[in-house]
Each structure stands twice: as structure tokens, then as C-alpha cells.
Amino acid sequence: MGRKAKNIYLRRSIWWIRYSHRGKQVRESSHSTVYADADRLLKKRQGDIVTGKFAGLEPDRVTVLELFKEVEQDCKDNLRSSLPQLLSRLKNHLIPAFGNLRAAELSSDHIKRYRSNRLTEGAARATVNREIETLQRAWKLAQMCDPPRVNRTFYFPMYEEHNIRTGFLEEIGYRALHAAMPDYLKPLLLIAYHVPCRRGELTDLFMRQLDFKANEIVLNPGETKNREGRHMPMFGPMRECLLMQKAIRDQKFPNCPYVFFGKKGDRIADFRKAWKSACRRAGVDQELIFHDLRRSAARNMRRAGIPENTIMKIAGWKTPNMFRRYDIQDGRDIRQAAEIMEKRLAEERAISTISSTMTARRQNTAAVQKDRKRFN
């Protein structure tokens, strides 16, 4: 074996290699009884050390379960409200499927099998993608460690999603729903229909966040989904409704800090049953959800002529893509487009008719003048 024998040796019929990394001697099994396999592994390790790609043996030993723990800790450190959902996703699906697998062994085949199994269980494509995104986040955090806990890039295949938002509520439906809604939920419905906000942003809203001098609802940084603060305007019946809420709170529940509260002055939590019952009594779409009000408010603002970037600031959307997902078109929008184009075409036809008439008159005048000259 010559010189190779110095760094390659046998141990119970398995060839091992040894090399130096960061001033320390490392011994590693080739997991093979073939000398050539050990020789190739040694050359690879030596090459990776020279180029700086070798991060030690830890990336080869770390399990996917350890990566999931890093995601959980990152979620806790950043106080993300999605922590319960993450824990459920890990416990029920991701850890049973990938937990015992070494990160170095993870392949696209594992992902594809997982996706297929989840669809067979009845999970939606969007749900499966969110689970794969959790695995992708775990991998990214591992790469960001120093030294990295994984030593290769990885492509996470996902399904295409057709998740354009479709639900909305027209004015006539809103009025019917408002009349059918329990009294304690009517103020919540009114505000949600007029400004594009999320349910949690309203149910967690404190009285001190109402600025009646500036006519604004103030959402502080850290209290929104993207952790950034926003200001939402009060207009129409909003100011009177919020002042009434404050008066009722001051009189009946002075210790309640919330703008919207239940019958006993407590924070409004789950009202899905009341919502569905009101939708049924109002005769509106039974599939309507509270989040559809956010879409409806954004579309109403756009129809009123408010610039897109202003609506995005009020709603908290960072990209035009997000705005377009919510700003859905319906039959009324198409009819308005048709009316605008009809008016435009009518104006063009009128201008064309006037122009043709004037041209004909000029031609007739020129012909008369020519005849006069000839007779004279």
C-alpha cells in the first residue's frame, strides 16, 4: 500500500482514514471493506479541507430532528404567534416522517414520498407546502450556523398553488349580515368591513390604540403579522361606532382594556358558530369567512380611487403580488369596465362623426367656390 497505509488502516475488516483538520487529528470510517473507497473518501476530505468546504463530521451525523429543534427555538426566540401551529405540524407529521433521518441522507425522493403520502391522507396541497417550508427553514438555519450543520445546498420540491383569494362581501350582503349579527359582534364586523385588517389585530386591539384626534387606529410594531406598525383611518360610521364602544366599556366594564369585548366584558375569542348562524340568517354565502372582509375592504378602497400603495400601507401588504391576491375582480368590476369602454367608444364615435361632417362641409364649400370661379 506504500504511503497510503499511513492514513488508511483496517479496523475489523472496515477501512478507516485519518487526516488533520484545524490542528486536530480526525479518524473516520469509510463504512466499506474496499480499500479504494477509503482512498477516495480520504482524497475528498483532503480536498474539502484545502478549499474550506469541510465543516467537520458534525454535518454527517446531525439528524433532521435536531434541525427541527432549531426551528422551534428560533420561533420561540422571535415570539412568533405561529408557534402552536409549528409544534402541531412537527409532532403530527414532520418528526414521524423525517426525525430519525440523518440530514446527510435526506434526498428529494424523501420529500416526494412525503408529499404523496400526505395527499393520500387528505391534506391540501397548500398544507403540504407549508410543512415542506418548515423543513426548508430548518435546513436554512442549519446552513447559517458557524460552522454549518449541513454542508450542502438542497432543493425542496413543492406543489404549485392556485390560492388566489375569492371570497368577498357586497354592500347589500354586509347590511344584511350586520342586522343578523349578535350585538356584541356588530362593531367588530363594521370595522373589519371598512378597513382591511386581520381578525387577531382587531380582537387584540386596546382602547389606548384609538387616536380620536387624528381619527386613526394605531397598530404598534410587533402586534401585526409582519411585526411592523400600521395606521388605519377612521371614516364613515367607524368613529361613531368606536366612541360608542368606549362609552359602553367605560360604563359597564371599566377594567376591560379591549376595544371589542364579549357579553361579560372579556376578550372576544372564537365566534365561528355565531358567524355561521348570522350568515345563514342573513342569506349570504355560507362559505364566507371573517377574513373575506379584509378582501372586501381592500376592493372597496380601490373602487373609491385610493392609490394602490396607500391601500398596501393600510393593510400591511409589502408587495403588489399580495395586493393582487386580495384585490379580486367580480362581475361588478367587469360591468364597470364595460360601461367605461362604452362611454369612451361613444365619445370617439361622436368625435369621428363631427370630424366627418366638418370635412364634408369643407369639401362642399370648396366645390361651391370652384363653381363660382368657373361661372365668373
pLDDT at 231 over 60: yes
- Could you give the CA distance from residue 294 to residue 196 in angstroms, rounded to a whole number? 4
φ, ψ for residue 206 (rounded to 5)? -95, 155
CB proximity list for 100: less than 8 A, separation 6 or greater:
63, 64, 65
pLDDT in tens, 13-31: 999 988 887 778 888 888 8
Q: What is the average pLDDT across 189-216?
A: 92
> 1: pLDDT confidence band, cut at 50, 70 and 90?
very low
Of residues 358 and 38, the one with the higher pLDDT is: 38
pLDDT at 32 over 70: yes
Confidence band (pLDDT; 50, 70, 90) for 56?
low
- Written as one letter, the residue type at 82 is S
Q: Has residue 2 got a pLDDT over 50?
A: no
Count how many residues are written for the chain: 376
CA dist 293 and 260 (Å) reads 17
Compare 306 and 137 and report the one with higher pLDDT.
Answer: 137
What pLDDT, on a 0 to 100 scale, did the predictor assign at position 4?
52
CB 299 within 8 A of CB 198: no
- Mean pLDDT throughout 228-256? 92
Mean of all residue pLDDT scores within the chain: 84
Helix (H, G, I), strand (E, B) or coil at 252: helix
* 8 Å CB contact between 228 and 213: no
pLDDT at 91: 94
Whole-angstrom distance, CA of residue 101 vs CA of residue 110? 10
- Does the pLDDT value for residue 230 go beyond 70? yes
Question: Do the strands 24-29 and 216-219 form a parallel or antiparallel pair, or are they unpaired?
Answer: unpaired
Q: CA gyration radius for the chain?
A: 34
pLDDT at 351: 80
Nearest to 298 by CA among 308, 290, 289: 308
Q: What is the pLDDT of residues 111-154, one digit of tens each?
A: 999 999 999 999 989 899 999 999 999 999 988 887 778 877 88
